[in-house]
Structure 1
């Protein structure tokens, strides 16, 4: 729940899951799934959910995945991450790769790290950057899985090469701790992982089962540098991970996640961008906190530069204001506002 304090709390940037297309062809429910996709694209979220529910109950994996997205975002249905997780699980069990990505990510972000690791490993193996980032973080810290700095460096290198700025920042901090010979091995391994990804992706797309056996715990204390807990929101998304461009839970394109409350998440290095500054941009004021988080999720997919900012919910009486920043100068905040306005959203520069 929002506090009545005037200090805004970090909302945490969300991620949208970039995954491969996977369709269940030849099922009678496919037409209903397509009708739901059309309704979603037109903004009729209630209609989309209605079209997907029956096929999902009958076992259509695409419909199950899309319902998971709807419940995660709170579109057409109330936001309910547990229901979203259940739909993802049903679809992932059938081999739906997008659902498998989403299931692993959501498990991790809810703090169910051990359960998430097999899915993160499968996603990372086929080249999914956000899974590579999260798995690299776990391998670096060595808390929930055996520490492996060579593989951690390789995975973080792959995620950085995919354009993830937080991975690049984590990689820079890893350079301070990982010995040069291990970094060199990690760089070589990153190339091997890239070459293997296509084959593994083809195997998983063809229905090869994902190994979901629990990952053995470390079973011993680990001597790693202390990690920096970055501000985040339930379900625990690292605060500086950008959202992937995405428009809706169609059968071949995922959607960014919805944000809720703050929980701590350990990461090897990602510190918030522009950690100080007297200015923010204000994107709207709402009577419901969920409306503010929904707007941020929508804007992330339309204005890529927002990915580098920290969003905030600021309580003012019965109103919740959505802000982002910080910026060192008003000019910088105004420049960002121009980009936001170009996407059709009102925006003003405000003092912290």
Structure 2
């Protein structure tokens, strides 16, 4: 199996940092709250883009996702897959389900990166955990196409991510990982 540096580094980040942000003590479920106004008139677009980039640099998950969409779709500006990938990755590592879905599909289709079913499956499963029904369906379709050895690798990585998550929950406030959230 051929892997790129970007694929390996994202995979390692998913292992080492199961999801950086926390929402109510649950680092796997992250709400997206703020938004940008990138649907503004063409004359206002440069200012709207700058404001959205500032919000993203200040940590807004939704701004990161919306910048990814802006550069991915190419409707308001030329399509820029490296920029889209960058913003989707940033939001994905913080648990944004739609960004994870987009990123997983980019890995599946080979958009801006070499196609990689293992990475696509892992990221789509994370998106499904975060609430994306589309991701659940797509991950199932991809797994049906994957050779057994690739599916085993992806399952091992996901298993490690969830083991790390359970350990994180166990050490937080010395609570059981299965106790109800506050």
- Aligned mates of 2:127, 2:61 — CA distance in 1: 19
Q: 1:160 aligns to what SS in structure 2?
A: helix
**Where do 5+ consecutive residues of structure 2 fail to align?**
1-29, 169-182
Matched residue, 1:103: 67
- Aligned mates of 2:143, 2:131 — CA distance in 1: 18
Highest CA radius of gyration, 1 or 2? 1
Matched residue, 2:117: 149
- Aligned mates of 2:100, 2:107 — CA distance in 1: 10
TM-score by length of 1: 0.32
CA contact (8 A) 1:125 1:193 kept: no
Q: Which has the higher contact order (CA 8 A, sep 6+)?
A: 1
Instruction: Note if 1:182 corresponds to 2:145.
Output: no
- What is the CA-CA distance between 1:176 and the residue it aligns to? 2.8
Instruction: Note if 1:132 corresponds to 2:100.
Output: yes
- What is the CA-CA distance between 1:130 and the residue it aligns to? 0.9
**Where do 5+ consecutive residues of structure 1 fail to align?**
1-16, 21-64, 200-352
What root-mean-square deviation, in Å, do the aligned CA atoms of Structure 1 and Structure 2 show? 3.0
Q: State the aligned residue count.
A: 131
Instruction: Note if 1:160 corresponds to 2:173.
Output: no
Matched residue, 1:82: 45
- Aligned mates of 2:93, 2:122 — CA distance in 1: 12
- Aligned mates of 2:122, 2:72 — CA distance in 1: 20
2:32 to 16, 19, 25: 19
- What is the CA-CA distance between 1:153 and the residue it aligns to? 0.6
If each structure's strand is expressed as a fraction of its own residues, which one has the higher value?
1
Q: Deviations over 1:97-145 (max 9, x none)?
A: 4322322232223232221111111211122111111111111122311
Q: Deviations over 1:228-275 (max 9, x none)?
A: xxxxxxxxxxxxxxxxxxxxxxxxxxxxxxxxxxxxxxxxxxxxxxxx
Instruction: State how 1:289-304 maps to structure 2 within 5 Å.
Output: none
List structure 1 runs of 4+ shifted beyond 6 angstroms: none
If each structure's helix is expressed as a fraction of its own residues, which one has the higher value?
2
CA contact (8 A) 2:81 2:111 kept: no
Instruction: Note if 1:115 corresponds to 2:115.
Output: no
TM-score by length of 2: 0.58
